[in-house]
Amino acid sequence: MRISTHQSQQVAIDAMLDQQKKLSMVQDQVATGRRITRPSDDPVAAARVVNLRDTLETAEQQQKNIGAARTRLTMEESVLGNVTSIIQRVRELTVQANNDSLTPEDRGFVAEEVAQLNDELFNLANSTDSSGGFLFSGSKTKFRPFNHSAGNGFEYHGDDGQRFMLIGPERQIATGDSGSKVFRNIKDGNGEFAIFDNERNKGSAIIAPGNSTGDFVDGHYAIVFAKKVNPDGSKEFSYKVTDEKGEVIIPEGTPYKAGDAITFKGVNTFIQGEPEDGDFFVVRPSENQDVFTTIDRLVKALRGVNGNSSDHAGLHNEANRALVGLDQSLGNILEVRATVGARLNALDGQEEINDSYKLQIKQTLSKVEDLDYSKAVSELNLKLTGLEASQKAFTRVQGISLFNYL
């Protein structure tokens, strides 16, 4: 076989270049600390690395979501704590004002403080998070949830939805509550029925909010009083109860005595004071009433007292309704706060799960792509030795010529 000088030199050069290429690959691995520096090094492992990195990025994003959700829920919990304090203060003032020893001026001072507290409560309901989104607008975080209406009422411009964040592979969590759930979906009265006095009542009768004696039969009922003055000056009081169709539930002429129970259709209540002839009270099923309206009605009642007995009776009746309404509001707020606390605990638990999951992914990723340094250094020395040998061989072969032997 005939081998030319050029051919032998080219073979030697190719051998050196191959050794340099192998050495360069090992040097890249040692420099980066990774076994796979390009997909062609190990296509199967490279594809697995891509999947593992995507999974790790998703887990890291879920951890960021947990942080954002925790910030928002912590702010909501803080706001609800302030709301609770305000409602409790309004309740204290209501009990204080529901006392005949106070003068109209004293009640005016109480009314002013209650009104200020209601404004503060209204502002808390319009609280925003760190990004400027409203906490209690439901899913419409860019809309201010509560506004004053033209008729001095309160309007809600959010919705009943919730925003959710992904905090785990298959787990979402609500990052807020709607204003309806927190401030509006509160049953007036005792939660089953509410009792209202007629604004034109002239007597001093004050009715208790009442309680259910079983299943309240939905309907509207009227407790109507009659008063008879005997020739000797003595007074006889009686009452009747009818429904919205005029059907008699308790017959006319039923004797009334202050403090005695009045019971019908699941309603149990009693009345103190003396009703005038024709005075009446209405019982109806409980309806949703926002806490701002409950407090606003109390303020109007406190400012409307001018000293006569019927005004005092109206104030006491409104105060009694306000007390049970505030209790319902407090109960509702506490329920919402409990769910917020549960969600914060869930975030803590999921965060630990995600940390463990991320650690497992990193360990698996390390096994797939990280370099075995002891093995790599040995291979580096081996490749370096091979390159040196090929270089020496090339030097010696390059110096060989047939003319040296002629």
Q: For residue 18, is pLDDT > 90?
A: no
Going by their DSSP bridges, the two strands 211-212 and 193-197 should be labelled as unpaired
Q: For residue 238, is pLDDT > 70?
A: yes
Q: Do 145 and 266 fall within a single domain?
A: no
Strand partners, 254: 239
- Work out the percent of the chain whose per-residue pLDDT is above 70: 77
Q: For residue 67, is pLDDT > 90?
A: yes
- Residue that wins the pLDDT comparison between 307 and 357: 357
- Mean pLDDT over 351-375 rounds to 76
- Residue that wins the pLDDT comparison between 22 and 56: 56
Under the banding of pLDDT at 50, 70 and 90, the label for residue 367 is confident
- Mean residue pLDDT of the chain comes to 84
Under the banding of pLDDT at 50, 70 and 90, the label for residue 43 is confident
In a domain, 120, yes or no: yes
Q: For residue 271, is pLDDT > 80?
A: yes
Q: For residue 166, is pLDDT > 70?
A: yes
Q: Do 109 and 127 fall within a single domain?
A: yes
Q: Do 59 and 183 fall within a single domain?
A: yes
Under the banding of pLDDT at 50, 70 and 90, the label for residue 386 is low
Q: Which of 287, 306, 341 delimits the end of a domain?
A: 287
At residue 102, the pLDDT reads: 84
At residue 388, the pLDDT reads: 60
Q: Do 148 and 109 fall within a single domain?
A: yes
Q: For residue 177, is pLDDT > 70?
A: yes
Q: Could you read off the pLDDT of 298-350 as tens digits, one per residue?
A: 999 998 766 555 678 889 999 999 999 999 999 999 999 999 999 999 999 99
At residue 311, the pLDDT reads: 72
Q: Identify whether the C-beta of residue 86 lies closer than 8 Å to the C-beta of residue 318.
A: no
CATH of the domain at 184: 1.20.1330.10
At residue 30, the pLDDT reads: 56
Q: Do 104 and 149 fall within a single domain?
A: yes
Q: Identify whether the C-beta of residue 283 lies closer than 8 Å to the C-beta of residue 223.
A: yes
In a domain, 346, yes or no: yes
Q: Identify whether the C-beta of residue 75 lies closer than 8 Å to the C-beta of residue 141.
A: no
At residue 131, the pLDDT reads: 87
Say how far apart CA 400 and CA 105 lie, in whole Å.
Answer: 123
Count the domains in the chain: 2
Q: Which of 241, 262, 287 delimits the end of a domain?
A: 287
Q: Which domain holds residue 162?
A: 54-188+325-357
At residue 379, the pLDDT reads: 58
CA angle (224 as vertex; 221, 230 as ends), nearest 5? 165
Residue 15 corresponds to which tokens in the numbers above?
């051998």
Q: Could you read off the pLDDT of 105-130 as tens digits, one per residue?
A: 888 999 999 999 999 999 999 999 98
Q: Could you read off the pLDDT of 287-300 as tens digits, one per residue?
A: 999 999 999 999 99
Q: For residue 279, is pLDDT > 90?
A: yes
Q: For residue 184, is pLDDT > 60?
A: yes
Say how far apart CA 332 and CA 321 lie, in whole Å.
Answer: 16
Neighbouring CB atoms inside 10 A of 336's CB total 18
In a domain, 85, yes or no: yes
- Mean pLDDT over 14-33 rounds to 58
At residue 100, the pLDDT reads: 82
At residue 147, the pLDDT reads: 92
Say how far apart CA 56 and CA 61 lie, in whole Å.
Answer: 9
- Mean pLDDT over 13-28 rounds to 59
What's this model's pTM, rounded to 2 decimal places?
A: 0.79
Q: Do 65 and 178 fall within a single domain?
A: yes
